[in-house]
């Protein structure tokens, strides 16, 4: 039986909007906030890969930052290994930082060009004081070999700016795993890399998952990629999940109209498969001024009056697959 690694319950992250000095002074500005994450719940098991998909501005990166405690949640509960991180003190959060790591999107900007590879990868060990000082260089050497930078001696004293994109991303992965974390967040880990080398990075991450039992959370707008690497996914729209489930099932048989539209907008390389395309009107609305009722209703090709009345709950639509749409309601089906 695998253990539950991360448990996220109704997490919210709202950012206050600054109306400017005058409104603050005279108090006539409304209390507004950007509801970047607005009630998200999910679990990730040990050694599981969970994917979060959605368009830019849907809140997926803010959600990751909140889970990593880089942002304090406005509300909700985040437990890692059964411990609520929102109630941890500074020391505990610091200890958590070595156990929970992130691999960032841009290997050209996320690495400090003034560091050599060994300095950059060793830094987390120094910060968290992991292992005896004189053994850390050796730990780095082993980690570099593990992420495919072989022989590691050739890379250790290079400056990160001298490496290719793929090598840099491997250095980023080495830094993330050197402290032996049990949970790693990957924010678009290959989108800046050439297609021809992406698979090797994804394979490396997947090997780390199966061999070390690391739990992964992938964030991406690329459904083909998430289907390829994730066990389960959640489709996010305006700060909430609209559909969750096993990735193959959600993408092969999407139930929520938004997921259906996303899947149908993804180009298909196979010329024998004709896409059944669903047109979406408009763009993602402003997360300050959320539509009443279902958040997707203003763009939804299937929306009716009832959709604007109240926000639908998540409905069980298949084994482990849930969708937030009133169309799944039996009563609604009867009345229509």
Partner 1 sequence: MLEISDLEVRYDTEHGEVHAVNGLSVDLAENETLGLVGESGCGKTTTAKSLIRLLESNCTIAGGSVELDGRDLTDLSLKELKREVRWSEISMIPQNAMNGFDPVYTVGEQIVEVVQAHESDTSKGEARERARELFEKLGIDGDRIDDYPHQFSGGMAQRAMVALALALDPKVILADEPTTALDVVIQDRLLDVIQDLQDEMDVAMLLITHDMSVVSERCDNIAVMYGGRIVEYADAETIIKSPRHPYTLGLRNSFPDITEDSQDLISIPGAPPTLVDPDEMCQFAPRCPFAEEECWEVAPEPVEYGDGHRVECHRADEVEYLRSEAEKHETWTELESTETDDELTETEVKND
Which spans of this chain sit near partner 1 (rule: CB under 8 A)? 55-56, 150-151, 153-154, 164, 166, 194-203, 221-225, 227-228, 248, 251-252, 261-263, 265-271, 273, 275, 277, 279-280, 283
Closer Cβ to partner 1, 130 or 280, answer by number: 280
- At 50 the three-state DSSP class reads strand
Task: State the minimum distance, in angstroms, from the CB of residue 58 to partner 1.
Answer: 9
Closer Cβ to partner 1, 222 or 306, answer by number: 222
Closer Cβ to partner 1, 78 or 223, answer by number: 223
Task: State the minimum distance, in angstroms, from the CB of residue 15 to partner 1.
Answer: 20
Instruction: Give the residue from 245, 243, 190, 315 showing the smallest Cα distance to 58.
Output: 243
Closer Cβ to partner 1, 84 or 153, answer by number: 153
Task: State the minimum distance, in angstroms, from the CB of residue 205 to partner 1.
Answer: 13
Task: State the minimum distance, in angstroms, from the CB of residue 85 to partner 1.
Answer: 31
- At 279 the three-state DSSP class reads coil
- Residues β-bridged to residue 187: 219
Classify residue 181 as exposed, middle or buried by CB count within 10 Å of its CB (0-12, 13-18, 19+).
buried
Tell me the two tokens of residue 145.
């070999």
Task: State the minimum distance, in angstroms, from the CB of residue 237 to partner 1.
Answer: 11
CA angle 335, 243, 236 (to 5 degrees): 125
Task: State the minimum distance, in angstroms, from the CB of residue 188 to partner 1.
Answer: 12
Give the Cα separation of 306 and 316 in Å (integer): 20
Task: State the minimum distance, in angstroms, from the CB of residue 136 to partner 1.
Answer: 22
- Residues β-bridged to residue 321: 318
- The set of residues, in sequence order, having a beta carbon less than 8 Å from that of 25 and lying 6+ positions away, is none
Closer Cβ to partner 1, 53 or 80, answer by number: 53
Closer Cβ to partner 1, 46 or 55, answer by number: 55
Instruction: Give the residue from 118, 165, 115, 172 showing the smallest Cα distance to 142.
Output: 118
Closer Cβ to partner 1, 280 or 290, answer by number: 280
- Residues β-bridged to residue 52: 219, 234
Tell me the two tokens of residue 147.
């992420």
């Amino acid at each position: 039986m695998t253990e539950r690694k991360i448990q996220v319950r109704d997490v919210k992250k709202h950012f206050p909007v600054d109306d400017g000095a005058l409104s603050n002074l005279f108090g006539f500005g409304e209390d507004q906030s950007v509801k970047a994450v607005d009630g998200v719940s999910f679990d990730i098991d040990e050694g599981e890969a969970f994917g979060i998909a959605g368009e830019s501005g849907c809140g997926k990166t803010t959600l990751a930052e909140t889970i990593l405690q880089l942002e304090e949640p406005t509300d909700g509960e985040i437990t890692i290994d059964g411990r609520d991180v929102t109630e941890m003190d500074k020391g505990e959060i610091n200890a958590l930082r070595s156990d929970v790591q992130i691999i960032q999107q841009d290997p050209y900007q996320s690495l400090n060009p003034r560091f050599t590879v060994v300095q950059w990868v060793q830094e987390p060990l120094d910060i968290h004081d992991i292992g005896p000082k004189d053994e850390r260089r050796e730990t780095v050497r082993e980690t570099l070999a593990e992420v495919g930078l072989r022989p590691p001696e050739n890379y250790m004293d290079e400056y990160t700016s001298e490496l290719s994109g793929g090598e840099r991303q491997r250095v980023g992965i080495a830094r993330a795993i050197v402290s032996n974390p049990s949970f790693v967040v990957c924010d678009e880990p290959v989108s800046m890399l050439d297609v021809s080398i992406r698979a090797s990075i994804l394979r490396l991450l997947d090997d780390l998952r199966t061999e070390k039992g690391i739990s992964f959370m992938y964030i991406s707008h690329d459904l083909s990629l998430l289907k390829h690497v994730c066990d389960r996914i959640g489709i996010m729209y305006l700060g909430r999940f609209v559909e969750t489930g096993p990735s193959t099932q959600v993408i092969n048989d999407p139930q929520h109209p938004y997921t259906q539209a996303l899947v149908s907008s993804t180009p298909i390389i196979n010329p024998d498969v004709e896409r059944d395309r669903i047109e979406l009107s408009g763009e993602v609305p402003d997360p300050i001024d959320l539509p009443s009722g279902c958040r997707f209703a203003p763009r939804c090709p299937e929306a009716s009056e009832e959709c604007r009345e109240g926000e639908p709950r998540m409905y069980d639509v298949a084994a482990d697959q849930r969708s937030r749409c009133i169309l799944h309601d039996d009563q609604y089906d009867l009345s229509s």
